[in-house]
């Protein structure tokens, strides 16, 4: 029978048979797939597993701490946290083009991961959160973003250079199965049912050049939006929601003072396959509340706008 329990039992056996007493390395992103792989491997082989979590400075508010508390503190998984914010932001200096930014973030990720991995001894396996749709996708022709998603998520080139063999326990599973076994393995359902988050993170939600203060502003605004979606029970009704930092400045007024500051856009979509999407018709009162909170709580934002573009013609992300 195809129950989460059975899938888990079956996977545990296969992982143990595959890796034996060898050490395994996993790049933990905080996303659903790599999180479930971490939980599964930890159950299968305990401390033969080491995870590397790269904080690239482009994560959402509190995300790094959340990953560490879930995995390291509560589950006892060995996680090496690498604070690489300066390295990433340094590389992104002066870069405006979205695809260029994606490439830099992807390459820097591989570099940082590689540095950490080379410090570890005796690692024989690299674990990856490849799921069945990824397998199908890479079998067909790949263009544009799909390619980028692949190169980022699969830590391209690494196994070959380091002579690591791949262990991919989710290779035959669909997303909903991955989620169900995640919950069964004790991951918080808040983590398992999170909206997708792009590999390049806030790097493609800060339009144009990425600066630390823009990332900080965006993190705060995004956090308010997501917090209110959860509070209003709207989070699970939309497929993806986030804030975007627009580096244009508009005039506003705070108290008696004129403000000339950047704009925050809110984006929320409903979709089945993320290939096409409808903008979420969120209640006006809800949008009003979020706008007020952002204006009151986040310094240096002059205006909040709501994106009413479908896909097509817009993509879900702004870059």
- What are the angstrom distances between the C-alpha of 25 and each of 89, 105, 303? 26, 21, 44
- Per DSSP, helices labelled H in the chain are 4-19, 32-45, 63-67, 85-92, 98-119, 132-139, 144-153, 158-162, 175-184, 189-192, 212-231, 284-297
Residue 259 pairs in a beta bridge with: 252
Q: Which is nearer to ligand XMP, 6 or 315 (CB)?
A: 315
Q: Distance of alpha carbon 15 from its chain centroid, rounded?
A: 25
Q: Is the dihedral of CA 65, 67, 70, 76 positive or negative?
A: negative
Is there a binding annotation on residue 29?
A: yes
- Among 81, 82, 49, 59, residue whose Cα is nearest residue 68: 81
Minimum distance of ligand XMP from residue 251's CB (angstroms): 30
| Residue 247: closest CA among 298, 301, 293, 291 | 301
Q: Which is nearer to ligand XMP, 91 or 152 (CB)?
A: 152
Tell me how far, at minimum, the Cβ of 131 lies from ligand XMP, in Å.
Answer: 13
Within 10 angstroms of residue 74's Cβ, the number of other Cβ atoms is: 12
Residue 212 has a CB neighbour count (10 Å cut-off) of 11
CA distance 38 to 52: 11
Does the annotation list 30 as a binding residue?
A: yes
239 assigned ligand-binding residue: no
Q: Is 75 or 146 the residue whose CB approaches ligand XMP more closely?
A: 146
Query: Between 44 and 210, whose beta carbon lies closer to ligand XMP?
Result: 210
Q: Which lies closer to ligand XMP via its Cβ, residue 45 or residue 58?
A: 58
Cβ distance to ligand XMP smaller for residue 204 or 298? 204
Least separation, in Å, of the C-beta of 2 and ligand XMP?
27
Q: Which of 54, 56, 57 is closest to 212 using CA atoms? A: 57
Give Cα separations from 253 to 18, 225, 259 (angstroms).
Answer: 63, 22, 5
Q: Write down the least CB distance from residue 312 to ligand XMP, Å.
A: 9
List 245's β-bridge partners, or say none. Answer: 206, 264
Contact 127/26 with Cβ under 8 angstroms? yes
Task: For the CB of residue 17, give the shortest distance to ligand XMP in the complex, in Å.
Answer: 31
**Based on CB atoms, which residue is closest to ligand XMP, 29 or 50?**
29
Q: What is the DSSP letter of 164?
A: P
Residue 302 annotated as binding? no
- Contacts with ligand XMP by CB under 6 A lie at 102, 145, 148-149, 152, 196, 198-200, 240, 274, 311, 315-317
Measured from the CB of residue 303, what is the shortest distance to ligand XMP in angstroms?
23
Neighbours of 311 (CB within 10 A): 16
Binding site per annotation, positions for ATP:
29-35
């Amino acid at each position: 029978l195809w129950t989460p329990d059975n899938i888990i039992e079956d996977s545990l056996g296969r992982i143990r048979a595959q890796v034996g007493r060898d050490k395994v390395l996993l790049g933990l992103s905080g996303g659903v797939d790599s999180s479930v792989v971490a939980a599964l491997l930890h159950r299968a082989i305990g401390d033969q597993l080491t995870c590397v979590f790269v904080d690239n400075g482009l994560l959402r508010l509190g995300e790094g701490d959340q990953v560490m508390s879930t995995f390291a503190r509560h589950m006892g998984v060995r996680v090496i946290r690498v604070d690489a914010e300066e390295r990433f932001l340094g590389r992104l200096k002066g870069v405006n083009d979205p695809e260029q930014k994606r490439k830099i973030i992807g390459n820097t990720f591989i570099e940082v991961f590689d540095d950490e991995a080379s410090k570890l001894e005796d690692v024989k396996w690299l674990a990856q959160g490849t799921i069945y749709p990824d397998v199908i996708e890479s079998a067909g022709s790949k263009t544009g973003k799909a390619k980028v998603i692949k190169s980022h998520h699969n830590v391209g080139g690494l196994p070959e250079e380091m002579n690591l063999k791949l262990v991919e326990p989710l290779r035959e599973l669909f997303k909903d199965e991955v989620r169900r076994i995640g919950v069964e393995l004790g991951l918080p359902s808040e983590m398992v049912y999170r909206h997708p988050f792009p590999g390049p993170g806030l790097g493609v939600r800060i339009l144009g050049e990425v600066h630390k203060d823009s990332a900080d502003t965006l993190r705060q605004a995004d956090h308010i939006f997501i917090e209110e979606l959860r509070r209003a029970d709207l989070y699970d009704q939309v497929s993806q929601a986030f804030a975007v930092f627009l580096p244009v400045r508009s005039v506003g007024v705070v108290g008696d003072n004129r403000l000339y500051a950047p704009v925050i856009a809110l984006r929320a979509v409903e979709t089945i396959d993320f290939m096409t999407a409808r903008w979420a018709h969120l209640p006006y009162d809800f949008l009003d509340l979020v706008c007020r909170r952002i204006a009151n709580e986040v310094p240096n934002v002059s205006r909040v706008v709501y994106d009413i573009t479908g896909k097509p013609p817009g993509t879900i992300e702004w870059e």
